[in-house]
Chains A and B, each alone.
Chain A
Amino acid sequence: GEDVEQSLFLSVREGDSSVINCTYTDSSSTYLYWYKQEPGAGLQLLTYIFSNMDMKQDQRLTVLLNKKDKHLSLRIADTQTGDSAIYFCAESIGGDDKIIFGKGTRLHILP
């Protein structure tokens, strides 16, 4: 079946790196996504990775994909207070019109 799992909370000190993890179950995933949701706002696409890649870097963001273990991670370098948000992992299935979302990880920044 289709399922995306991620931990619900993560606390990180300002300036440290944040690593948010996600596992998915469908091996036919084509794209995997990370979205950010700030309080009271819609979801903002942060980055995505095609399923035949294993890494993608974009400024402070690094996405790692372990397709064998169906594990996706998002690393935020030099975490700042503005990074405080809920981060959603999501997968799209080839040939399907839907994207499957995890329940979101709430990132809390400690001073």
Chain B
Amino acid sequence: SQTIHQWPATLVQPVGSPLSLECTVEGTSNPNLYWYRQAAGRGLQLLFYSVGIGQISSEVPQNLSASRPQDRQFILSSKKLLLSDSGFYLCAVTSVDSLKVTDTQYFGPGTRLTVL
């Protein structure tokens, strides 16, 4: 089974500063990778997903961007953070289980971002 790492675990950044959140996956190859944001008291918002190296689909236009430089590495970035970027950022991976044949998503531990 796969293991998903996210860092940092928590981050406090001033408005206008850059951002880089990293997600790496072990134990699987050619996964689909996802970035979600969970704002306080709200559900999950899909930000980006990637089906392969260099392939990024953006779900919500905003000041964030994503990149996938390697098969099992997914990076979320911003050049200038806004107050509204505060939230809990979750990376997820789709693992197609050969027995269950399901595109179940598994989540990393998350990064808590506070923009002041």
Contact = CB atoms under 8 A, between A and B. Distances in A.
Interface in A75-94: 88, 90, 92
B103 A97 contact: yes
Contacts, number: 49
Contacts of A97: 32, 49, 51, 94, 103
A91 to B, nearest CB: 11
B90 A43 contact: yes
B87 interface: no
Interface in B38-69: 42-44, 46, 49, 51
B104 interface: yes
Interface stretch (A15-23, A54-62, A66-74, A98-106): A98-106
Contacts of A44: 107
A104 B43 contact: yes
A87 to B, nearest CB: 12
Interface string B24-42: 0000000010000000001
The bracket for how many chain B residues form the interface is 20 to 34
Given A42-B110, A97-B32, A103 B103 contact: no
B108 A101 contact: no
* B interface secondary structure, majority: strand
B102 A41 contact: no
Contacts of B102: 30-31, 48, 50, 92
Contacts of B107: 35, 42-44
Q: Which of A33, A43, A44 is packed against the most chain B CB atoms within 10 Å?
A: A43
Given A97-B94, A98-B46, A103-B42, A92 B103 contact: yes
A49 to B, nearest CB: 10
Nearest to B9: A40
Contacts of B46: 98
Contacts of A30: 102
Nearest to A4: B43
A45 interface: yes
